[in-house]
Chain A
Amino acid sequence: MSIHVKSMDVKDIIKKENLVYKKSPLMTDNVLSYCPGCGHGTVHNIIAEVIEELGIQSQTIAVAPVGCSVLAYEFVDIDWLQAAHGRAPAVATGLKRVMPDKYIFTYQGDGDLAAIGTGETIHACNRGEHITIIFINNGIYGMTGGQMAPTTLAGMVSSTSPYGRDVSTMGNPMKITELVAQLPGTYYVTRQAVHKPSNVRKTKRAIRKAFENQTLKKGVSLVEVVSNCNSGWKMSPVKSNKWMEENMFSFYPLGDIKVDGELVK
């Protein structure tokens, strides 16, 4: 039996009618500008899939940050604005206030959202803007070459903390996601990852929920994705994911932080 199944020719399987998965048609043909193994591409594709499945391409406007994903607009086939560093939540506020029934989301890294954009992030969350924030946290400034971010772990080596982050002089790593979850303006706050298939599936459910929440008009839905930066961390993609599991997840634990406006205990 199994011999019969296994001996089936691959050519007989690879036929149009047997296709069960390919990247979202809302992903453009542009080659992603990200490093090998970088989680950005995975999250882009998840967002594209969610927009496609919800049928909201014509109602979705995205805001790209400054950072590695500054060129996100090259990859997902929707309307985009490219914001100044950290200002995406303010830009999204402007969009949402004049188009309250459209789906507006920002896509931001940890340098963008948790350092220079702290004010915009906290106040958009505090006002309860009915937007979605996708927050990619890799604990480092990726695009500029691996400098220390507010999210960099204690002791973690970066190009501007070459002897490890000394919290006594460089400050402590910041859990901005837990911080904004305390604000009444946030409705859904969760932390996920995309390094393994099971995590990809969970992240997709989270992002889908974060988009669907916009119709409820109950405030910000924020999905943090803890991701690797293998170039910045100076590891292979596979090793960086292992390092992430062993080091990042203990400080940035995965799971829901706030659901339907209620903090998860």
Chain B
Amino acid sequence: MAKQRGAIVVDIERCKGCELCIEACPTSVLRMERKVNGKGYHFAYMEDPGECTGCINCAIVCPDGVISVYRVKVEA
């Protein structure tokens, strides 16, 4: 059985810290970084990358298009 693994890349400097991606993530992968970016916003990161399935939910609700999503199929 094939399983999907995913990972995201956040364009940190363009993230506005709205947290909509965190709400959208079905596997609770994302958290807000305590640090802030150049504009003073907290930004999203993968706290639990092992749970990411690459479903792209976080990326499509991101108003600023800062999330790119990668996905691989892994043979069980």
Residue of A nearest to B1 (CB): A1
Q: Considering the complex, which residues of chain B in the window 46-76 have a beta carbon less than 8 Å from any beta carbon of chain A?
A: 46, 49-51, 54-57, 59-72, 74, 76
Q: Does B31 contact A (CB under 8 A)?
A: no
Number of interface residues of B (CB under 8 A): 38
How far is the CB of B7 from the nearest CB of chain A, in Å? Answer: 4
How far is the CB of B36 from the nearest CB of chain A, in Å? Answer: 13
Interface of B is mostly: mixed
Q: Does A241 contact B (CB under 8 A)?
A: yes
Number of interface residues of A (CB under 8 A): 42
Interface of A is mostly: mixed
Residue of A nearest to B58 (CB): A197
Query: Considering the chains assembled together, what is the distance between the CA atoms of A241 and B23 in angstroms?
Result: 10
- Binary A-proximity of B24-61 (CB < 8 A = 1, otherwise 0): 10000000000000000100001001110011110111
- Asked if A196 contacts B17 (CB within 8 A), the reply is no
- Asked if B41 contacts A36 (CB within 8 A), the reply is yes
Query: What 14 additional pairs, Cβ within 8 angstroms, besides A37-B63, A196-B23?
Result: A4-B74, A5-B3, A5-B5, A18-B70, A19-B69, A21-B60, A23-B65, A31-B14, A41-B62, A42-B63, A197-B56, A197-B57, A238-B20, A241-B23
Could you list 18 examples of A-B contacts with CB < 8 Å?
A: A8-B74, A10-B46, A13-B70, A13-B72, A14-B9, A19-B69, A20-B71, A21-B68, A22-B68, A23-B59, A23-B66, A34-B63, A36-B63, A39-B63, A42-B62, A196-B24, A200-B60, A237-B19
